[in-house]
């Protein structure tokens, strides 16, 4: 990589958008990019990242967050407080490259309420403090889920009114605690059945309350923090899949009943040999946008076989490129969040029993992979249809 390509694209940017384009974008960029690096304040738009990381690895290009901000896009990553505590390079690269964070596990029920009724915000606050220091937006996942349950809720069926009380208390306590610091919440995660039709029936909330738990959760969440954007988040619905069709109809129905839902999260965990085409991803995002909803890509990673060959890393880069192109081509895709950024701490080898690996954009030694380059080039590129003058709508950046 090198800064040359970015210089070129900056020039192309100026040429395509002219001064009016720059003027339209700059005010929106300031809140994010000005806080990124101290040097920014002196040099206006141009970030001045350190050239060498603490581990000695040279980083010469303009960071992704600066490039993304020019497109009006948030680029995020999952944050692991364990990795953060033991590995200084982890935080360094994260602060440099991303302008949005989500807790990988620290805001799930089994951490926040490991003991029933006793809320532990400690691990999440580690991330919140880091995000505050580095001018990063925070989105949160998930308030309600059938997974990541503490012992006291796992395999349980509660009397209906007790389950409603648990959910209500959890939503109010957690959202009020983070109010003003979390801009988007995945209120419900993975609530739809995989095989359809209808909702997933496993988990204590459906079992104890029935389908109504969904609406209750969104209304409570809206009451707890009326400013927050409330999302529904799920997997296997990134492209125009059957599940995405079902989600579309279901969300439309919820909106029709006045349920406060503002966005849809596409998890986007994909394998190299099984992933949607960028055009259908744009089409999918667009139809949710047409319902008035914002879309976030929330947990992007691209799994390669454990013993992947060189060519497969290139294919992976193409998939990452396609995701960002798809996101930029849609009217209201506000954020692309990766499920981590270094293969050193990815969940993929564990969840796939060692079959898959290498799913992220930096290798285990924080060397940027071809996927990093691909994203950098999409974000640094000024395609005529999507030049910098265009600003993503939705919650202001």
**Which residues of the shown chain bind ligand XIL in the complex (CB under 6 A)?**
104-105, 141, 189, 267, 299, 347
Run of H or E residues at 149 = none
As to burial, measured by CB atoms within 10 angstroms (0-12 exposed, 13-18 middle, 19+ buried), residue 391 is middle
Q: Which residues pair with 270 in a beta bridge?
A: 302
Choose, from 151, 190, 215, 253, the residue flagged as catalytic: 190
Q: Which residues pair with 266 in a beta bridge?
A: 234, 297
Nearer to ligand XIL among residue 346 and residue 381 (C-beta): 346
Are 342 and 294 in contact by the 8 Å Cβ rule? The answer is no
Minimum distance from residue 256 beta carbon to ligand XIL (Å): 26
Nearer to ligand XIL among residue 39 and residue 354 (C-beta): 354
Q: Concatenate the DSSP letters of all residues of 290-355 into one string.
A: HTT-EEEEEEEEEEEETT--HHHHHHHHHHHHHHHHHHHHSTTEEEEEES-SBGGG-SHHHHTTTS
Are 106 and 114 in contact by the 8 Å Cβ rule? The answer is no
Are 115 and 94 in contact by the 8 Å Cβ rule? The answer is no
Task: Give CA–CA dist 344/366, Å, rounded.
Answer: 8
Minimum distance from residue 206 beta carbon to ligand XIL (Å): 17
Choose, from 7, 299, 312, 325, the residue flagged as catalytic: 299
Minimum distance from residue 246 beta carbon to ligand XIL (Å): 18
Nearest Cα residue to 337 out of 188, 137, 180, 174: 137
Minimum distance from residue 380 beta carbon to ligand XIL (Å): 29
Task: Give CA–CA dist 239/362, Å, rounded.
Answer: 25
Nearer to ligand XIL among residue 264 and residue 378 (C-beta): 264
Q: What SS3 state is found at 27?
A: helix
Minimum distance from residue 385 beta carbon to ligand XIL (Å): 32
Nearer to ligand XIL among residue 104 and residue 325 (C-beta): 104
Q: 299 an active-site residue?
A: yes
Nearer to ligand XIL among residue 67 and residue 171 (C-beta): 171
Nearer to ligand XIL among residue 25 and residue 83 (C-beta): 83
Minimum distance from residue 108 beta carbon to ligand XIL (Å): 7
Q: 97 an active-site residue?
A: no
Q: Which residues pair with 140 in a beta bridge?
A: 185
Number of other CB atoms surrounding residue 121 within 10 Å: 16
Nearer to ligand XIL among residue 13 and residue 205 (C-beta): 205
Task: Give CA–CA dist 32/350, Å, rounded.
Answer: 34
CA terminus-to-terminus distance, the chain = 28
Minimum distance from residue 265 beta carbon to ligand XIL (Å): 9
Task: Give CA–CA dist 123/126, Å, rounded.
Answer: 5
**Cβ-proximal residue to ligand XIL, closest one:** 347
Query: Hey, which residues are catalytic here?
Result: 190, 299
């Amino acid at each position: 990589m090198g800064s040359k390509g970015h210089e070129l694209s900056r020039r192309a940017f100026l040429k395509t958008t002219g001064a009016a384009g720059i003027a339209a974008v700059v005010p929106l960029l300031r809140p994010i990019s000005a806080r990124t690096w101290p040097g920014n304040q002196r040099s206006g738009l141009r970030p001045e990242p350190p050239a060498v990381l603490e581990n000695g690895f040279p980083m010469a290009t303009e960071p992704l967050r600066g490039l993304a901000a020019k497109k009006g896009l948030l680029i995020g990553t999952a944050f692991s407080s364990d990795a953060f505590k033991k590995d200084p390079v982890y935080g360094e690269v994260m602060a440099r490259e991303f302008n949005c964070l989500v807790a990988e596990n620290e805001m799930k029920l089994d951490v926040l309420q490991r003991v029933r009724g006793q809320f532990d915000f400690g691990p999440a606050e580690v991330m919140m403090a880091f995000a505050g220091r580095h001018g990063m937006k925070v989105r949160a996942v998930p308030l309600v889920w059938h997974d990541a349950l503490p012992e006291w809720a796992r395999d349980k069926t509660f009397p209906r009114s007790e389950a409603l009380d648990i959910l209500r208390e959890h939503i109010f306590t957690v959202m009020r605690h983070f109010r003003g610091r979390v801009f988007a919440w995945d209120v419900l995660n993975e609530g739809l059945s995989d095989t359809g039709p209808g909702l997933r029936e496993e988990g204590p909330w459906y079992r104890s309350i029935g389908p109504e738990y969904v609406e209750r959760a969104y209304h409570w969440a809206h009451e707890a923090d009326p400013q927050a954007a409330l999302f529904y988040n799920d997997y296997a619905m990134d492209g125009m899949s059957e599940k995405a069709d079902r989600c579309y109809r279901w969300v439309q129905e919820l909106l029709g009943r006045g349920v406060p839902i503002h966005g849809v999260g596409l998890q986007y965990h994909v394998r190299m040999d099984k992933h949607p085409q960028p055009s259908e991803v744009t089409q999918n995002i667009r139809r949710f946008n047409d319902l008035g909803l914002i879309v976030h890509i929330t947990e992007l990673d691209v799994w390669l076989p454990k013993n992947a060959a060189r060519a497969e890393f290139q294919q992976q880069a193409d998939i990452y490129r396609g995701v960002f192109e798809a996101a930029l081509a849609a009217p209201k895709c506000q954020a692309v969040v990766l499920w981590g950024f270094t293969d050193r701490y990815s969940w993929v080898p564990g969840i796939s029993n060692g079959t898959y690996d290498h799913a992220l954009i930096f290798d285990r030694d924080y060397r940027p992979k071809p996927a990093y380059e691909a994203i950098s080039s999409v974000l640094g590129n000024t395609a005529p249809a999507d030049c910098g003058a265009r600003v993503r709508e939705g919650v202001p950046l």
